[in-house]
Amino acid sequence: MSAESNTAEKGRAGLRRQIKLPMSKAIEIAFKSIKIRFWRSVITAAGIFLGIAFFTSVRMSGEFSMIQRKVIEAKRDAIAAGTLKPTPNDIRQVNSLATDQADAKAAEMRLKWLSIMALIVCTVGIANSMLMSVTERYKEIGTMKCLGALDGLVVKLFFIEASFLGFFSSVIGFVLGWLVISLIRLATDGVEVFGLAFWIASVKLLGLSVLVGTVLTFIATILPAMRAAQMPPAAALRVEI
């Protein structure tokens, strides 16, 4: 019993100070906590991954429209240069390109708006699920502080949980949104839009989606968690939801 007390740092006047647990221990506790409340974590993750899936699908269908435009423009140029023998479908596409020209600007504007809307919906979804999951654990945070947890440890635990949940939910959300839109495009437009431009756009969007999802999750978790951790335990214990 006394062995671990000896490991505690001695502060001013020989007072014992609580030890800071190493990051590895914090990771262990955080993962145990995710595992223990697996279904709750899945529901929380669903808020993140649906938001990101929506965001991804809106962005991805925008990318597809742009790629398709480029493909048709390339065809038009090739036909003009005489290097491509157009099929009836190609001719129809190139003709529609001309009539679309006026709509293109409007379409682009619409897409921007949709993207922003998607981002807002995604933010609200993530903030809501993470705020809920921290708020319902105020009492737990107060209890942990009574048992000797340092503020920093509490924040660290939520930091690890949020990074993990945010990252993986975003990746899954991206894959879902990306897959659905890609399959729809494959069915309607065929393989011609799945060139290099498609893969570049996909990778860029993966990066953006994961970044957005992880950062939003992180902010929505860490701010309330810090607030709860810095409260006197009596106040955190009194919070009713």
Partner 1 sequence: MRANEYVVRTKDLVKEYTMGDQTLKALNGVNLDVFKGEYISIMGPSGSGKSTLFNAIGGLDKPSSGSVFINDVDMAQLDAQELAYLRCHTIGYIFQTFNLIPVMTALENVTLPTVFAGMSTDDGIERGIELLNLVGLGERLHHKPSELSGGQQQRVAIARSLANNPSIILADEPTGNLDLNTGKEIIELLKRLNREQGVTIISATHDLKMLDVSDRIVWIRDGRIAKIEDRKDIDIRIGEMEGQGELH
Task: State the Cα–Cα distance between residues 43 and 47, nearest whole angstrom.
Answer: 7
- Contact criterion met (CB below 8 Å) for 108 and 202: no
Least distance to partner 1 from the beta carbon of 39, Å? 10
- The nearer residue to partner 1, 15 or 106, going by C-beta atoms, is 15
- The nearer residue to partner 1, 17 or 112, going by C-beta atoms, is 17
Total interface residues for partner 1 by CB under 8 A: 38
- 239 residue type, one letter: V
Among 94, 149, 162, 228, binds partner 1 (CB under 8 A): 149
Task: State the Cα–Cα distance between residues 151 and 163, nearest whole angstrom.
Answer: 18
What sign does the CA torsion over 106, 107, 111, 112 have? negative
- Contact criterion met (CB below 8 Å) for 84 and 75: yes
CA distances to 35, 43, 58, 171, 200 from 39, in Å? 9, 6, 28, 19, 35
Per-residue contact flags (x/-) with partner 1 for residues 25 to 64, judged by CB under 8 A = x---x---x--xx--x------------------------
Least distance to partner 1 from the beta carbon of 170, Å? 25
Task: State the Cα–Cα distance between residues 24 and 33, nearest whole angstrom.
Answer: 14
8 forms part of the interface with partner 1 (CB under 8 A): yes
Residues 108-147 touching partner 1, rule: CB under 8 A, are 139-140, 142-147
- Residues near partner 1 (CB under 8 A): 1, 4-5, 7-9, 11, 15-21, 25, 29, 33, 36-37, 40, 139-140, 142-151, 153, 232-235, 237
